[in-house]
A and B are shown apart, each in its own frame.
Chain A
Amino acid sequence: MTAVASESEATFAAQRQAELRRRALAPWILMLPALLIVVIFFGLPMLLMARMSFNLHIDQRLYVPGFTFEHYVNLFSNPLFTNAIWTTVQLSVLASLATVFIGYVFAMLVWLKPPRWRLLMIGLALCPLLISEIAIIFGWWMFFPKNGLLSFALLSSGLISDKISLMYTEFAAFIGLIYVTLPFCFFILLSIFDGLDKRLLEASADLGASPVTTFREVLLPLTWTGILVAFSQSFIWTIGTYATPSALGPDTLWTMGFLIQEQMLGKHNWPMASAFAAVLVIGVACVMAITRSMQSKRTAFHA
């Protein structure tokens, strides 16, 4: 009797073990398709790029396997490259701050205004996403030059007395970057605002808080996460982008994106370009880690 019982107990335990194994495996199997795509299209190229950055660059040849830190040393010692890093970081931080600010105000207005304006505003915000970056750049080429729309508008409104051109200035590059990232910022922030109860503003006023205090005490803390997410996405986009700053900025505006392109296609220095790109990726990862750590530790209230 006992032998039979212990035998059935043993098979039961074995079955249970198998069941547990199956359960542990299930999420991996379910994730497999997505995992494959990520590994093949993102993971492998990144690895190849990282490997490439340690390759030798001899006689303008594209691919000379080897191992050297030469390109990284060059990157951080040559003022041409360090200046480019500094310029790009500056430009994209400023552009991202401006984007977040404009996007925040815009999203807040859409959230506060009656719903009948909502569709129109969202439609407007979607417009830039329907046009390719290159087409948008052509648009700016009609807007910024001496005989462009901006000059004409300022002249006919009497604000300036002579035609001006803002084409090929850092300001034009700055505006161009804001325009490209603003829609993303706006939608991220709008989704955060839409998650808030508007009665919270009334409750705050009701308890004696002025609009400024209500903003500081209620709105800002509750949208802080959204601000950080919007900022990081805007920063990631602007620091890596190539077309807009190159096409709208001055010839002297050497961004990281421009230099990577230059090293790759102009100088045939693929290892250098790879090293540059690797630094860019690591830099972006660091910024994301920092913004993440700035998010509220008190996540309990999101439950």
Chain B
Amino acid sequence: MVAPALELRNVVRRFGSVVAVNDVSLSVARGEFLTLLGPSGSGKTSTLRLIGGFEDLNSGAILIDGQRIDHLPAYQRDTATIFQSGALFPHKTVAENVAYGLRMRKVAPPDMERRIAEALDVVRLRGFEQRYPAQLSGGQKQRVALARSLAVRPAILLFDEPLSALDLSLRLQLRAEIKRLHDELRFTAIYVTHDQGEAMAMSSRVAVMNSGRIEQVDAPEKIFHAPASEFVYTFIGESCCLPVEVGPSGVADKSGALLPLHLGQSQPTGKSRLYVRPSRFRLAAEAAALPNRLRARVHFIEFLGDVYRYHLKAGALELAADHPGAIGVKAGEEIDVGWRNEDMSVFR
């Protein structure tokens, strides 16, 4: 059996009384692109810094290729980090920046020349060798940072929100470029981000983190379509929450009015939260044949570009439903809204 490229075993990191990383275990195969996704303060960056050696863990173990590395200082670990700020050496040229890691690894000069050229080729920055970081744009800086890390051919590449300081179009462009590089070079990468779009688009697997713990590790499609917890469901994509009460006679809203919903047999009684994504609601005639249907009053309508968002009120429930085109209803009028059983998730 081949040892995983990276393995975390029950890793714990505390800052004073705060547990930043709480018993995290994770196994990453060679060539995998794993994203740590979570809101700020969820422990994703701390986890990355533990792997890179910039923080010491309180307990647990970190292994690269089956070897424990958590006792090694950062400079003896075979990892390379792309920082959010780029952290390029401002007093060194692009070529000197890329050469830095190679010099530290005592690569012979002719080899070094070739590897610098290769790395700059890969990020399409040939011809920029003699520039200083201050003479580069934000996107170019991050590409140099990427080249600098790629050049040393580390066992694991660590990305610490490398795109979050860039503007949107550049972010999308570099995102595609990193994805292309991963497809070409098949490096093992841990990528930290709070942007679910980035996580979905780039990763082979996504680990969703919340208050120091991993809530779910799965392929992006699984994360999106089969979230393991309420947190994952609400963090990934938009969702519409319907607070309900499951009683012996059926499902009721908080005012006690019974709702014609089909939650399945095994729902325990008591308060529950029922979620549907706005894009999964069907309106008016399209809702007619669906098993879950409510009569709702249109509260107001927003135009979001691709879709119109109908904010609806059905008794005590508030819903937001997306529809690609305008349907001839105005605020204050009544409309049917419905959804399929499989588009509904229930958490309690």
Chain A residues proximal to chain B, CB less than 8 Å: 197, 199-200, 202-211, 213-214, 217-218, 221-222, 296, 298, 300-303
Contact = CB atoms under 8 A, between A and B. Distances in A.
Nearest to A300: B132
Nearest to A208: B104
A222 B91 contact: yes
Given A205-B74, A206-B80, A298-B91, 9 more contacts: A205-B75, A208-B75, A208-B76, A209-B100, A213-B104, A218-B89, A222-B90, A301-B132, A302-B90
B85 A199 contact: yes
B83 interface: yes
Please report whether the interface of chain A is mostly helix, strand, loop or mixed according to DSSP. Answer: helix
Interface in B11-55: 52-54
| Residue of B80, B104, B105, B132 with most chain A CB atoms under a 10 A cut-off | B104
B81 interface: yes
B73 A205 contact: yes
18 contacts: A199-B87, A200-B89, A203-B83, A204-B75, A205-B54, A206-B75, A206-B79, A206-B81, A207-B104, A207-B149, A208-B76, A208-B104, A210-B75, A211-B75, A217-B89, A221-B91, A301-B132, A303-B132
Contact of B89 (A203, A206, A208, A298): A203
A300 to B, nearest CB: 5
B87 A302 contact: no
Contact of B91 (A207, A208, A301): A301
B58 interface: no
B87 A202 contact: yes
A206 B158 CA distance: 10
A300 B80 contact: no
A301 B74 CA distance: 27
Contacts of A202: 52, 54, 74, 81, 83, 87
B269 interface: no
B135 interface: yes
A300 B134 contact: yes
For the complex of A and B, the 8 pairs showing the least CB-CB separation, nearest first, are: A208-B104, A207-B101, A203-B87, A199-B87, A205-B74, A303-B134, A301-B90, A205-B75
Contacts of B149: 207
A242 B73 CA distance: 50
A218 B89 CA distance: 7
A102 B282 CA distance: 72
A212 to B, nearest CB: 10
Contacts of B75: 204-211, 214
A43 B145 CA distance: 51
B163 to A, nearest CB: 16
A303 B135 CA distance: 8
B293 interface: no
A218 B105 CA distance: 17
A203 B141 CA distance: 14
B338 interface: no
B134 A207 contact: no
A203 B135 contact: no
Contact of A207 (B54, B80, B90): B80
Contacts, number: 78
B152 interface: yes
A117 to B, nearest CB: 15
A162 B80 CA distance: 59
Contacts of A218: 89
Nearest to B134: A303
A216 B133 CA distance: 20
Nearest to A199: B87
B135 A207 contact: no
Given A199-B85, A200-B89, A208 B101 contact: yes
Contacts of B134: 300-303
B309 interface: no
Nearest to B152: A207
Interface string B89-113: 1110000000011001100000000
Contacts of A303: 132, 134-135
A302 B100 CA distance: 20
A298 B134 CA distance: 12
A222 B87 CA distance: 13
Contacts of B104: 207-209, 213
Contacts of A210: 75
Given A199-B85, A300-B132, A206 B74 contact: yes
Contacts of B53: 205-206
Given A205-B53, A209-B104, A213-B104, A199 B73 contact: no
B205 interface: no
A303 B152 CA distance: 28
Contacts of A197: 85, 87
A147 to B, nearest CB: 47
Nearest to A195: B90
Contacts of B132: 298, 300-301, 303
A190 B286 CA distance: 68
A91 B81 CA distance: 47
A222 B101 CA distance: 18
Contacts of A209: 75, 100, 104
Given A202-B83, A302-B134, A207 B100 contact: yes
A217 B85 CA distance: 19
A114 to B, nearest CB: 11
A205 B81 CA distance: 10
A203 B81 contact: yes
A301 B92 CA distance: 8
Contacts of B133: 301
Contacts of B54: 202, 205-206
